[in-house]
Amino acid sequence: MRTAEPEPYDFRRPLTLAREHARHLEMAFQRLARQFATQLTARLRVVSQVTFEDLELRTYDEYAGGLPSPTAMVLCTLEPSRQPAVLQMPVGAALVWIDYLFGGDGRGDEREGRELTEIEWTLVKDVLQHAIGDLDYAFAGLTSMSATLRSVQYNPQFVQVVAAQETVLVAAFLLRVGDREDRMTLMLPSDLLLGALRSSEGSDARSDEEQRAVATAQGDLERAVHGVPVDVAVRFRPVTVHPRDVLDLAVGDVLPLSHPSTDPLDVVVDGIVLARGAAGTHGPRLACQVVTVEEIPA
């Protein structure tokens, strides 16, 4: 979830996502979050939720430097590109999963500096491999991608999976398992996903159902806009006066207008001149007949 707090921006190193690219990626990570939650619920036998919160472009050094220590950094290999990825989560969360796997109530182990034993890592690895196994489904339409879990490390300062200044995509998730709530991140190589997005530009990668939904939404929006009431004004050319003239105004004073009697009037909507018109009548009422239409600014 994005906060309302201002975030610093370095103009010397702009790491921003194009709006269209961000939209496609956020939809993919949301699908992954739903599938992740389904897998956790099925395997741990406790209601689990995974909520996608945020997506950022960062350098790997910034990503690793912002992680708590110790933490579980699960190192992965993406196929078929063979590029590295990192799934990070608190060690305490993984220990809660193990407790649920053996029928416990999710107490876990919160001892400081606790690491997973070899047996515990084997159990957690099996759960994560199934949960992360839906990468290909989540990113369908963008690129073919699956992940194989390799190992787990606990000190981000000593884990260098890519060059320090290499740009990576970092997706943040809120993880709820039973009554416990944790933050989880997934780091993916940016060139893999952004390259796939750039190569697909100019073609619509959305499914038929998504395209129909977009077309329906656009039609609904157009019909709604056409039915919105707007105030239309007809005005003379404005005249400039001094504040003292305004303050001294009295009943009966005359303000001379600079509008020539032969020039058309402005037809205005929200301060934008849309047309020119000539004053006239329509039955017993005053009216304005449109004589020219102005080009509407984009």
Residue 209 pLDDT: 81
pLDDT at 203: 52
Q: Work out the end-to-end distance of the chain between its first and last CA atoms, rounded to an integer number of angstroms.
A: 32
Which amino acid, one-letter code, is at 251?
V
pLDDT of residue 12: 46
Closest Cα to residue 87, out of 160, 186, 190?
186
Amino acid in position 37: A
pLDDT tens per residue across span 168-206: 999 999 999 988 999 999 999 888 888 878 776 655 555
How far is 126 from 178, CA to CA, in rounded Å? 19
Distance CA 17, CA 141 (A): 19
Dihedral over alpha carbons 154, 158, 161, 162 (to 10 degrees): 140
Contacting residues for 130 by C-beta, under 8 A, at least 6 apart:
39, 43
Class of domain 19-211: alpha beta
Q: Which ranges of the chain have pLDDT less than 70?
A: 1-4, 7-16, 200-207, 296-298
- Give the pLDDT confidence score for residue 9 in this predicted structure: 57
What is the model's pLDDT at position 73? 95
Average pLDDT value for the chain = 86
Among 234, 102, 88, CA closest to 173? 88
Nearest Cα to Cα of residue 95 among 121, 76, 68? 121
**Closest to 88 (Cα-Cα) out of 46, 44, 148, 128:** 128
Check residue 237 and report its DSSP letter: P
Q: What is the pLDDT of residue 265?
A: 87
Boundaries of CATH 2.30.330.10 in the chain?
229-293
Looking at residue 291, its pLDDT comes to 85
Which residues in 150-179 are b (16+ Cβ under 10 Å) and which e?
eebbbebeebebbeeeebbbbbbbbbebee
CATH code given to domain 229-293: 2.30.330.10
Residues of each domain in the chain carrying CATH 3.40.1550.10 = 19-211
